[in-house]
Amino acid sequence: MSFIIFFIITLFIAVIQTAIPYLVNRTVVFGVMVPEQYIEDKTIKKYKKYYSLSVALLSIVILVSYLVWVLSNERLDNQVALTGAVIEFALIFISITFYLYYHAKTKQLKQQNNWAENLKPMKVTDLSIRSQDEMLPWYLYLLPIISTIGLMIYTLMNYDILPNQIPTHWGPSGEADAFTDKTSFSAIKLSLGLLMMQLMFLGIHIATKKSGIKLSATSLESSRNRQLSLRKYSSWLLFVVLLGITMLMSYFQLMTIHPEIGEGFVKLIIPFSFLILVLIGTLIFAIKVGRSDKVMETTVEAKIMDLDEDKYWKGGLFYFNKNDPSIFVEKRFGVGWTLNFANPIGLVIILVPLTVFLVISFL
């Protein structure tokens, strides 16, 4: 089972990493802003093609090697899991290495050809776009929070029937593989960690909802479609993932109180179903957002371009702009959001709940 899980995750990472150049904002190539007039440049197309082919071929080699290694001898679950995790990180490292190489090449190409020369930078706004925003309302996130608080109360009410050893970790098969002595704190430790995650998700949702909607001066309609799609589908994905995490961790918590609900294949099916739900949801999100701005507009003003914000992006990956009030902005490589690291509120939203979660986990 461990092999199936890690193989599916690795395959998913490989597919997403291979397709990324064709899913990002069309005027951003390997983290570099390219004026609309030059996005069909032959060299740019070549860079995208070479990146995708390189990542795809190496991914195939890695996946086949992993499969052969597992089937060649009987392997222990922990060996398969550890190797699978190493392979996932290796694949991400390889794709980032290729990305940084082509980021430098694209940046050099832009400078050598003086693409920004004789083009007037412009910024546009649409006062009506907020009314078209279809992000989920924040109060929906109160539902899983309330259910988790209720679960903690229920656990404490049934404290006497809890086992003397409380599970603290579950393996890929759904079996508990780490335990701690029963106390009032350890009994609700899992739910407390879940509550911190829920609060973090709520903070991320509110911050993204308040973040600015950036439109393109040269492709207004396409950029509007992408921004609205990004906001709508990211809010749905975030909420669906949160519901999945809540149901999964609540199931483990209830299984501690009522072990009979974990009998048979249920404890195996539920974690696997959560994995499939997240992967399918992420894939749908990437496709919906990634393809939302790919229809070329018929009229592009020849002498204008969008504001060039390359100086605020370190390596095209990390955004530092103290003049931008947005807490989250659209990624330049990948589909989704990234922090404005110059805005301390974003760090608070992420780091405070995460720190509390880690402290709870190690207590």
Q: pLDDT for 155-192, tens place per residue?
A: 999 999 998 888 877 776 667 777 888 899 989 999 99
Domain encompassing residue 91: 1-118
Share of the chain above pLDDT 90, in %: 48
- 235/68 Cα distance (integer angstroms): 40
Q: 219, 36 in Cβ contact below 8 A? A: yes
Among candidate residues 71, 88, 118, the one where a domain is terminated = 118
Tokens of 177: 């593989």
pLDDT in tens, 303-361: 888 888 889 999 999 999 998 899 999 999 988 999 999 998 888 888 888 888 888 87
Among candidate residues 81, 97, 118, the one where a domain is terminated = 118
Q: Residue 298: pLDDT above 60? A: no
Q: Residue 49: pLDDT above 60? A: yes
Phi, psi for 179 (deg, rounded to 5): -140, 165
What is the pTM (predicted TM-score) of this model? 0.87
- 132/54 Cα distance (integer angstroms): 40
The residue with greater pLDDT, 157 or 125, is 157
Q: Are residues 174 and 232 in the same domain?
A: yes
Q: Residue 208: pLDDT above 60? A: yes
Q: Residue 87: pLDDT above 60? A: yes
Average pLDDT over residues 217-229: 86
Provide the number of structural domains found in the chain.
2
Buried b (16+ CB within 10 A) or exposed e, 153-170: eebeeeeeeeeeebbbeb
Q: Are residues 198 and 346 in the same domain?
A: yes
Q: Are residues 133 and 95 in the same domain?
A: no
Q: Residue 235: pLDDT above 90? A: yes
Find, among 324, 328, 350, the residue nearest to 337 by Cα. Answer: 328
Average pLDDT over residues 26-50: 91
Q: Are residues 27 and 150 in the same domain?
A: no
Q: 289, 19 in Cβ contact below 8 A? A: no
Q: Are residues 89 and 130 in the same domain?
A: no
CB atoms under 10 Å from CB of 8, counted, come to 15
- 14/351 Cα distance (integer angstroms): 29
Positive or negative, the CA dihedral 312, 329, 224, 19 is: positive
Q: Which long-range contacts (C-beta less than 8 Å, at least 24 apart) are formed by 336-344?
A: 336/230, 336/234, 336/285, 336/289, 337/204, 337/208, 337/211, 337/230, 337/234
CB atoms under 10 Å from CB of 302, counted, come to 10
Share of the chain above pLDDT 70, in %: 96
Q: Are residues 232 and 109 in the same domain?
A: no
Q: Residue 24: pLDDT above 80? A: yes
Q: Residue 230: pLDDT above 90? A: yes
pLDDT value at position 267?
72
Q: Are residues 159 and 205 in the same domain?
A: yes
Among candidate residues 65, 99, 118, the one where a domain is terminated = 118
Q: Are residues 88 and 202 in the same domain?
A: no
pLDDT value at position 301?
56
Q: Are residues 25 and 65 in the same domain?
A: yes
State the pLDDT confidence band at 224, using cuts at 50, 70 and 90.
Answer: confident
